[in-house]
Chain A
């Protein structure tokens, strides 16, 4: 009985799968301080590798092709920073100057609503106490965010140095490293190993390219929408919407928060603007769902929406924003590895069963 359970393809798959997961988790723990630059570098590798291949096909050596891609990456980065940063910092300072007015307006509105409820229901609600408590909490969050932000700036400068270096070496050496690693597989698992690797790599590459294009399109559409509505920081709001779009399902909802708060901050409150701000995100989502997703990332990740949402919540709870962004690729990779292992192990098991019957 025990032998049957041990040799059953499901238990064997689960054993091998848990060994692979343990190895990945151990590697992630060891590389924890470098995990974010590594994730960003792999993303850039997935985006830039085709460019390097094109250079190689046109006669450049691997080194020269990798270096050319790195130079192009640095040039594009420098161009973006020099062109966009002044606008972005201007819009950020406008937003900062608006925030006290927004808080004040929301406080007044909260007080008015509480007052209205208290009057209509003849209740004695300490509205000022409630809003005071809420804003003390918000204030604390804000301070924490500022400290987090300054830490992020330090991390950002580290990223700016590490990411190009990592990306260069990935473009130059990843294929050799991968070949050496996979060639270590025993003959019996060689084809299965490569098959699983290619399925994972193909799906991740498709997903990363798709989600980047999708985020850029979301950024453009929402920027135009907020600009038409007369928001003071349309570009900043567009970038926030684009970045939050990296988180499937949950991201678009989070993207509504800032524009809605800014719309509520107008004195007197213009409710049509709140509706219009929500509509911009919804229209962008509609365009995304009808045109972009079918054309760009259809079938890139074949997961049930419920798994996606639960995965995002769990990963977000464990690893914060980065966890929410990487949740889908990680779950999808695990899914492919598990299915590939099961397929291979089950084929072997069926073969052994058949041989035993024949004997």
Chain B
């Protein structure tokens, strides 16, 4: 059957649209600085979209963490000990610590509206690093920068609280 058939054309178009849209969203984050769009796009094809209902837990603190999550649709609340830490919107990402260490999640993530999330698994990252070590190293450097910025931000908050 030819891909000119409207049904097939639409099917492919839908998938292409999603890949392109998610690629652009990742490229807008600091994680993909100095990484080519083509490589990001190849990586996006290995990522896993999941749908969450409003109020559904994405993960609990203490759960096994294995991926970083990008919000494609909806919004997510990050809570620790019932205290709201952040409210994340479309294009934001969370859970990046799970890409680095095999430790349980340290906060809860709850969908505060119907959401579509894109999961980038640590195992896919490891395979990508094996395939493209240079880009993989750049990605790890970018994650380190993000984590360092968050640590610095937390330190400032703590010192402000103490003072």
Contact = CB atoms under 8 A, between A and B. Distances in A.
Interface stretch (A12-20, A34-42, A345-353): A345-353
B131 A191 contact: no
Given A53-B131, A57-B131, A347-B104, A191 B60 contact: no
Contacts of B123: 194-195, 198, 202
A173 interface: no
Contacts, number: 52
A70 to B, nearest CB: 22
A347 B65 CA distance: 11
Given A57-B131, A198-B121, A187 B64 contact: no
A66 B50 CA distance: 29
Contacts of B66: 191-192, 194-195
A53 B45 CA distance: 14
A329 interface: no
Which bracket fits the contact residues of B?
20 to 34
Given A187-B52, A194-B121, A348 B131 contact: no
A187 B50 contact: yes
A343 B103 CA distance: 11
Interface string A166-183: 000000000000010001
B48 interface: yes
B63 interface: yes
A194 B127 CA distance: 14
Given A183-B48, A348-B63, A191 B119 contact: yes
Nearest 8 A/B pairs, CB to CB: A198-B123, A195-B66, A191-B66, A351-B62, A347-B62, A351-B60, A344-B64, A192-B64
Interface of A: 53, 57, 179, 183, 187-188, 190-192, 194-195, 198, 202, 343-344, 347-348, 350-351, 354
Interface of B: 48, 50, 52, 56-67, 104, 119, 121, 123, 131
